[in-house]
Structure 1
Amino acid sequence: MSRVLMAWELGANMGHIDRMLITARALRERGHAVTFALKDLARAHGRIVADGFPVLQSPLWLPRMVNPPKLVNFSAVLAAAGWLDSGGLAGLLSAWRGLFELHRPDLLVCDHAPTAMLAMRGRGTPVAAIGNCFEIPPRRDVFPAMNYWDKGDVAQCARSDALLLAPVNQALALLGDSALPRLTELFGGVRCIAASLPELAHYPDYDERVRMVGPSYVGDSGVAPQWPAGEGARVFVYLSPEHADFNALMEALRQSGMPTLVHAKGLSPDAARRLGGPSIRFESAPVRMDQAVRAAALVVSHASLGTVSAAALAGCPQLVLPNHMEQYMVARRIIDGGFGLAVPPGSRNTDYPALLRRLLDEPCFAAAARALAQRHAGADPTKTGACIADELEALLR
């Protein structure tokens, strides 16, 4: 039996926990002992502790950056994790190493935990990075631009890496470690496993150094979808009620009369009464994703990869309202694939009735969605978890 430590440091929401849990279950079935180090322990009990796994708190960077430099690639993610502050980074690395000494893992699995990866560098324990493709960029001499379609940002990638490399190497020197020759060597010697469909990878140009193993999301938990009455196509909506256009979209759906099921975490009962109607049902609890997308003709979300993947495998056209860069990169892939439309952050006076009509009336969107689903017929998160477990067991051997 091997000891596996699964670490989560950056990001939010349930995607990281769900992806690690799918993998941890597969490893446990094979006789390995798995412990979690989590960013957000408030989300631990219902998923991780209830499943019988022990949990620890990840070391975290708490200060907020003031007037951060313009960084155009993955270096921006690392900067937000404290990597511009050499003394602060040295403290985080020391904390991770203290955790390693307590746990003594035979394998470290990092789900968006770059500081844990750096802390384990050169210490003889195998390391794997699992995540979506935002968290595992393509391997290059420099990290590629997040706006990979923008020539100006592409030209700034080397400068972005250089701005971070100096304080990182200062932090390593404080700990007596050797310097990184380039920032992308963070992933040197790390087994990189991307849980994504190739068509939904945040960046379009990966090579064999990143293994893509399929979609990762928990589709079989939550309440069964209860669809309201109404005429026309069913619409499943998974959005934050804090989005600036939430009310406008709900009004468009209410006016359409289409049966619409909405999961909007945190929506007040008063707002639900005001925005609802006979054809709209608001569900406060998470909805079983697999059942909801199979019954829907259209899925509306913020372009989080798990929701987008579930809808894609069901052959559903999608309307996405991304909130930040990671989601916007997925939105670009949806547009490029022809199976959906996106409303970019900051858009004003969006004609939602027209967008809904286009997605449901123009056959090209449904055809592209069905073609994507057919290309990946048989893909499911359980198989993805088993595939990741195979990769990890190879490292343990």
Structure 2
Amino acid sequence: MARLLLAWELGGGLGHAQALTALADALLRRGHAVDLAWKDLSVAGAVLGERLRHPRLRLWPAPVWTATLANMPEPANHAELLFRAGYLDAGRLAGLARGWRTLLEATGPALLVADHAPTALLAARGQPLRRLLFGNGFCIPPAEGPWPAFREWETPAPAQRLAAAETRVQRVCDAVLAGLGEPPLPSLAALYAADERVLLGWPELDPLRPWRGRGPQEGRHWGLPASPPGGAAPGWPDGEGPRVLGYLRATHPAAAPALGALQAGPARSLVYLDGVTPEDAQRLDTPWLRVSAEPIDLAAALPQAQAFVGMAGAGTTLAALSAGVPVVLLPMQAEQLLFARRVVAAGAGVLLWPQEVAAGLGRAVAAVLGSPGFADAVRALAACQRAVAGTGTGTELHAGRPGAPAAAGAAPAADGGPEDPVIAAIARRCEALLEN
């Protein structure tokens, strides 16, 4: 038995927690002990459920940056993204890094699995453990610098600004490492040095694919883990007509106009609205719309849906596409917008800016429902990716999709069915790292 620490530091929503929970399940079934250090413990009850009682699973709060910085421009590259996570000031980042170092010492993992967790990686430098990066493409920057200006929809930021950001972040990292008794980084990209890079999702939809190198140091795309079971059973509005599933957040600037458009029909819509109370959710219901204050069981709902409306979170969007469902995406920040642009380029969905939602959402939903081109693109995209999932090599058929056999040697899942092949392959890779 080995002990592993699964860390989540940056990013929001349920995607990080759900993916790490699936991996924790696979590791626990193999007899290992798992510590979870999560940014947001408020989702733990809903996502982990009875797993919280497991004798070999422990849950910890992740040391995270909570301050809001005023007058900060939108991040132009990954270094500026780290500014918003505490990397402007070595004095304050040192506290977070010391918190992570203390957590590593308290848990004593043989392997750190870092999901958007740069400060966990910083604190782990010089420690006797292996490291595995885990997450969607935006969370794992290119292995070699300089990091790109990723706001491709705008005039590129000046090279001097990008270089200055990297220099400042590396200087901050080096000062923090000195306080931990560790040598400086050889380069800023070395912050994300790891024994393995596990990129979740499909190569064509990797937000940073245009800037990745071709060497093995970049890591591999392992496909999409199946949507974990759990959540509210889908309760669609009564009647006839197509079904539209939605995952939105109450704080999204376009949430109100999006709900207004869906309330008008003619599709029957079921929307999980993160951040709404059950009472307010019920007040939003109309004959065409049902709003849920609880996450909806994607594994149950997506096979019943003909379209999906979301904020371009990688997890839910990839789950919809994998189920053959075209999407309408309402991105709110750079990561989501980059990913949405990849989906649109593949012909699998429509992107709407916040100011376009009130007038355009109804037309966009009608387009993805009425044009066979969207459904054809989704099917073609999903079919191409079955060779990627669960292997990271592109040579093995994805065993987790309908009509395909279970992966060879897959352990049984908690419900007695075959284990998800993507997660099974990643768990086996974790074990290989532990053995070497």
The TM-score with structure 1 as length reference comes to: 0.92
Code of the aligned partner of 2:90: S
Matched, 1:135 2:173: no
Bigger mean CA offset, 205-214 vs 307-316: 205-214
Partner of 1:11: 11
C-alpha distance in 1, partners of 2:59/2:285?
Answer: 40
C-alpha distance in 2, partners of 1:82/1:100?
Answer: 20
Residue 368 of structure 1: CA displacement? 0.6
Matched, 1:83 2:87: yes
Partner of 1:389: 427
Residue 49 of structure 1: CA displacement? 6.4
C-alpha distance in 2, partners of 1:267/1:29?
Answer: 35
Partner of 1:54: 58
C-alpha distance in 2, partners of 1:199/1:339?
Answer: 12
Q: Is the 8 A contact 1:172 1:179 kept in 2?
A: yes
Q: Is the 8 A contact 1:72 1:160 kept in 2?
A: no
C-alpha distance in 1, partners of 2:180/2:259?
Answer: 54
The TM-score with structure 2 as length reference comes to: 0.84
Equivalent of 1:152, from 156, 175, 182? 156
Partner of 1:327: 336
Relative to structure 1, is the Cα distance of residues 374 and 210 closer, same or farther in structure 2, using a 3 angstrom cutoff?
Answer: same
Partner of 1:36: 36
Write the deviation string for residues 264-300 of structure 1: whole angstroms up to 9, x where unpaired: 2344566556643223222332221022111111111
Q: Is the 8 A contact 1:129 1:192 kept in 2?
A: yes
Write the deviation string for residues 72-129 of structure 1: whole angstroms up to 9, x where unpaired: 1111232222111112222222222222222211111111111110111122311111
C-alpha distance in 1, partners of 2:272/2:194?
Answer: 41
Bigger mean CA offset, 370-379 vs 123-132: 370-379
Matched, 1:177 2:215: no
C-alpha distance in 1, partners of 2:8/2:94?
Answer: 18
Partner of 1:126: 130
Relative to structure 1, is the Cα distance of residues 56 and 352 closer, same or farther in structure 2, using a 3 angstrom cutoff?
Answer: closer
Residue 48 of structure 1: CA displacement? 3.4
Partner of 1:318: 327
Write the deviation string for residues 108-159 of structure 1: whole angstroms up to 9, x where unpaired: 1111111110111122311111111111022222222222455613735333
Partner of 2:255: 246
Relative to structure 1, is the Cα distance of residues 107 and 351 closer, same or farther in structure 2, using a 3 angstrom cutoff?
Answer: closer
Write the deviation string for residues 309-365 of structure 1: whole angstroms up to 9, x where unpaired: 111011111101112112111111111111111112454753222222222222221
Gaps of 5+ in 2: 387-397, 401-418
Code of the aligned partner of 2:178: A
C-alpha distance in 2, partners of 1:26/1:104?
Answer: 20
Q: Is the 8 A contact 2:344 2:350 kept in 1?
A: yes
C-alpha distance in 2, partners of 1:54/1:60?
Answer: 18
C-alpha distance in 2, partners of 1:153/1:298?
Answer: 36
Code of the aligned partner of 2:141: P
Aligned-pair identity (%): 36
Code of the aligned partner of 1:164: V
Code of the aligned partner of 1:391: R
Equivalent of 2:197, from 187, 192, 215? 192
Q: Is the 8 A contact 1:335 1:342 kept in 2?
A: yes
Task: Give the RMSD, CA atoms, in angstroms.
Answer: 2.4
Relative to structure 1, is the Cα distance of residues 251 and 95 closer, same or farther in structure 2, using a 3 angstrom cutoff?
Answer: closer
Bigger mean CA offset, 194-203 vs 210-219: 210-219
Partner of 1:97: 101
Partner of 2:290: 281
